[in-house]
Chains A and B, each alone.
Chain A
């Protein structure tokens, strides 16, 4: 069994996760601080989740294809996007971005507003508030977004096939290998890849749950949680 789809998928999913982490957190911070018009921006940032991935892929193909100025320029500087693995990173990032963005914004919004107000009265700059208050306190929420977007990137199919193609050894990810295997009636191969995808994504989500448990709920359930249960009849 040729293992290249596994490495290609891991490479793409990891890079896409890093990209979504950076842009997702920044976008969430930006929307979180907006007073007016955030509804519009929030809607725009969530769109990739609502659109069928083929539409996203087609959009990217139009933006980065040879017919567009940007596509031609990128090719002339030796960075063609269509049919390359970083094309797949772009596709996976766009599709996974809303998951991380929404998880992070949700986490920011659950923080105590007094905490931020306090920091501001004590003279912290917005940037200091961001990396000393928002990020550390919202981290569990961000992490769950990270894992979800990793898992989503791993399974991304629709947008990837259009922009990156399905080239064995280059851009054929596990999801695409499953498609090809099914098209050519190799059921065992398709089953194997499906199992591998499931195991990897499951382990990622499981590890996230482990970490979160250690951080917050663990204390709660051992101490106050038990007490609460004893108190309620």
Chain B
């Protein structure tokens, strides 16, 4: 009896191992299929290119150069996580013009993206949510300095829950008695630093602090205002734009804080700087600007 049990156990052990390995194998097969699919997709787009080859040549010499290998090229873009939706939409538009380019976009916090680029992770274009990270990379000569641009500007806004009864009109109104709690970002996160600058500029930072609840990032602040747990909060215009549970009271007074800039640049280590520049140019095009505006960003220029 015990022998049978033992045999069953070893059989089961083997089966589980095989199953595990099998699953692993089959998933890699699946990826192979995916790759195969991608390849057929590429040939399809290649045919499309061939059909319109003459036009392509006329429009863009670099396209012809890069496509001459007959392979689809990969362009690595590292973009701040707050840009996910806008960039995803823009990439579809870009691919209509450049179907031979496969855009591989890595979304993350700007600090993490900076670390990855420093350690040599592939990146052709970097769009950061702050100047700090781009400056740090530039100091290490990892940025093609000539290509660096200020791509977008974000605004800092005061928000209230959409259902709020007492409507505010300005930043100074947060001192009203019916405002019990103001949600703001911690001083360690950029939005917190901007908020502090604004209220300091208005000369009411000390009073504000007595009612403040500090969120560890801008999402926390937004969530508190959305649920009505805070009576108002200070976030970026983009955050306010994607939430229908909050309403914007007002933009921060002109000059009360440093501009919130999203810089973009081609990386010095890029293998295809021409295409990277073409992509960057596309991001500054009127077509792209319209998309960015829809997500609450203010294109610079």
In B57-89, the 8 Å CB interface with A consists of 76, 81-82, 84-85, 88
Query: Is the Cβ of B9 less than 8 Å from the Cβ of A61?
Result: no
Cross-chain contact B23 with A65 (CB below 8 angstroms): no
Q: Check if A7 is an interface residue, CB within 8 A of chain B.
A: yes
Establish whether residues A165 and B121, one from each chain, have CB atoms under 8 Å apart when the complex forms.
Answer: yes
Mark each residue of chain B from 1 to 39: 1 if its CB lies under 8 Å from any CB of chain A, else 0: 000001001101100110011011001101100000000
Q: A14-B23, A166-B107 are in contact. Are A61 and B121 (CB under 8 A)?
A: yes
Q: Which of A162-187 contact B (CB under 8 A)?
A: 162, 165-168, 170, 179-180, 182-185
In the complex, how many residues of chain A place their beta carbon closer than 8 angstroms to a beta carbon of chain B? 39
Q: Which residues of A contact B239 (CB under 8 A)?
A: 185
Q: Of B6, B9, B27, which contacts A10 at CB under 8 A?
A: B27
> What are 18 A-B pairs at a CB distance below 8 A?
A7-B27, A7-B30, A21-B17, A21-B20, A61-B119, A65-B116, A65-B121, A67-B119, A82-B116, A82-B120, A83-B104, A136-B6, A136-B13, A139-B9, A167-B104, A180-B81, A185-B239, A185-B243
Instruction: Name A136's contact: one of B10, B27, B115 (CB within 8 Å).
Output: B10
- Could you list 7 further interchain pairs (A-B, Cβ under 8 angstroms) beyond the known A11-B31, A68-B120? A21-B20, A58-B115, A83-B121, A135-B13, A162-B115, A166-B81, A185-B222
For B, the interface residue count at a CB cutoff of 8 angstroms equals 39
Q: How far is the CA of A76 from the CA of B61 in the complex (A)?
A: 29
B108 within 8 A of A: yes
In the complex, residue of chain B having the shortest beta-carbon distance to the beta carbon of A11: B27
Residue B242 is within 8 A (CB to CB) of chain A in the complex: yes
B294 within 8 A of A: no
- A85 interface residue, CB < 8 Å from B? yes
Residue on B with the closest CB to A22?
B17
Contact with B along A108-147 (1 / 0, CB 8 A): 0000000000000000000000000001100100010010
The 8 closest A-B pairs by CB, nearest first: A66-B120, A65-B119, A165-B106, A11-B27, A183-B81, A65-B120, A67-B120, A185-B242
Query: CA separation between A11 and B34, bound complex, in Å?
Result: 13
